[in-house]
Copies of this chain bind each other. A is one copy, B any other.
Amino acid sequence: MFNWDDLRFFLELARRNKLSKAALRLGVEHTTVARRIAALETKLNLTLFKRINRSYQLTDEGRKLLLHAEAMEKNSLSLLSELEQTETNLEGKIRVATPEAFGSQFLAKHCHAFQKYYPGILFELVAETTNMTINRRDADIAITLAKPERGRLKTIKAGSYRLRLYAAPSYLQGHPPIVRLTDLNQHNFIWYVDDLLPIPELHILDKAIQNPNIVFSSTNLTAQANAADKGLGIALLPCFVGDQIQGLTTVLPGELSIMRDLWLSVHEDQSNQPVVDKARLFLSNLIASERRTLIGT
């Protein structure tokens, strides 16, 4: 028997006709789509697509398969809609502490899904730069950038995200071109205020720029992003913020890319509570499945 999951890839490619387009929607690399399709073709011993003019066009046999794949998709969707029943029996409240930008720009956009599953649970999102201490029960679950060393916590690495330099085209047109890191010396920066937690990877920038010309600073990333969007200068932003803003483009994406880990912690004695457990699963699933938006393109 062939791998049923390959039909998901087949369907997407049959609809988009481009490896890259299909890959984007499936949340994988284009090479993965190509290889899964190739595997399906050899397994079924059929040619499903003709590769012409950099586009994948269905063959006659591919069209036959499409009908069956669509039927299976219908099944999978009806399955989800039937089983994705809300758990109204669970009631209570969960407080989740996250870094400011992660909470306000990423997690907030997905809380509706949690609400749909568990309408009885109040989801409290504490997204602040101040370091909330989960130990003092300020929050039931904490997502942090550094692994908490102390406290009786269950901590797992939930995922990673990337930071890049972003600027508005309007800014870039009015300023000297940037082709290497040292060119940044002549540019304006939007930056954090000093008391942010130190990011070790920033020494790359420190070496290249002796005296950064900081024209605006804030503890609030959304403020920085909005300032950059208006052409004030160059900002260091998480990709899940910068990529979402149409008016921003990356600066030196090849030279500067900072990866940071996301840690998810719960109290040892709270980890078995149903409400806490469901929220924990929701968060780690979310971070895993949205990996692509957190890492950026």
Contacts and interface: CB of A to CB of B under 8 A. Distances in A.
Interface stretch (A70-78, A182-190, A209-217, A220-228): A70-78
B46 A64 contact: no
A117 interface: yes
Contacts of A44: 80, 83-84
B75 A43 contact: no
A75 B76 CA distance: 11
Interface in A77-117: 78-80, 82-84, 117
| Majority secondary structure of chain A interface residues (helix, strand, loop or mixed) | helix
Interface stretch (A4-12, A163-171, A194-202, A249-257): A4-12
Contact of A75 (B6, B75, B278): B75
Contact of A76 (B1, B43, B83): B1
B285 A42 contact: yes
A65 interface: yes
Interface residues of A, number: 33
A269 to B, nearest CB: 22
Q: How many monomers of this protein are in the complex?
A: 2
B42 A281 contact: yes
Contact of A4 (B4, B65, B71, B84): B4
Nearest to A6: B5
Contacts of A76: 1-2, 4, 68, 72
A46 B285 CA distance: 14
Interface string A5-22: 111100000000000000
Contacts of A75: 68, 71-72, 75
Interface in A258-287: 278, 281-282, 285
Interface string A170-183: 00000000000000
Contact of A82 (B4, B68, B84, B278): B68
A226 B43 CA distance: 36
A281 B80 CA distance: 37
26 contacts: A1-B8, A2-B76, A3-B5, A4-B4, A4-B5, A4-B7, A4-B8, A4-B76, A5-B6, A42-B281, A42-B285, A43-B285, A44-B80, A44-B83, A44-B84, A45-B278, A45-B285, A64-B83, A65-B79, A65-B83, A68-B76, A68-B82, A71-B75, A72-B72, A72-B75, A75-B75
Across chains A and B, which 6 residue pairs bring their CB atoms closest together, nearest first? A68-B79, A5-B5, A4-B4, A4-B5, A72-B75, A71-B75
Interface of A: 1-8, 42-46, 61, 64-65, 68-69, 71-72, 75-76, 78-80, 82-84, 117, 278, 281-282, 285
